[in-house]
Amino acid sequence: MYKLREANITDAKLLFEWANDNDVRATAIIKKKIEWKDHLNWLIGKLQSTQSHIYILTEGDDNIGMVRFDKNYDMFIISYSIDKLHRKKGMGLFILQLGIKKISENEPHCNFKATVQIDNTASNKIFEKLGFSLEKEELIEGHIFNAYCKYGNE
């Protein structure tokens, strides 16, 4: 049975490994590997913030992936990652559906934004399936990204 649970400090190593996965770094805005010390400081800050929510999708003892929502004014910025053993199984769509539902339960009319590298076909398709609108293309750090938005009143 799948469960979306809140991340905690004991997930630091798991989240660090996922963040530094070669495929994840290739499609991230910042491409360079993350240092452990920087990751730990970042994670502690996120876990202490009332503006950030990090969830881990599990099935039994198996960790499938993570989704993070960072509130910026009236918009939740989405970031997600699926463990390499669970990719191409529909888990990206699934974790985003569960995460958006969880956030929307507490803030029914919230808005969401995602920035996806243009050649990340799988993620682009997922956000389109979820009803996100392509707002614009952005050049960030020398790469083209699609900016998607979904508004709570849609």
- Looking at the DSSP assignment, which residues form a beta bridge with residue 134? 148
Quick: pLDDT tens for 36-72.
999 999 999 999 999 999 999 999 999 999 999 999 9
In a domain, 75, yes or no: yes
Report the CATH number at residue 31.
3.40.630.30
Residue 23 lies in a domain: yes
Domain annotation covers residue 90: yes
Q: Does a structural domain hold residue 133?
A: no
Model pTM greater than 0.75?
Answer: yes
Residue 53 lies in a domain: yes
Residue 72 lies inside a defined structural domain of this protein: yes
Domains: count for the chain = 1
Decide if 30 is inside a domain: yes
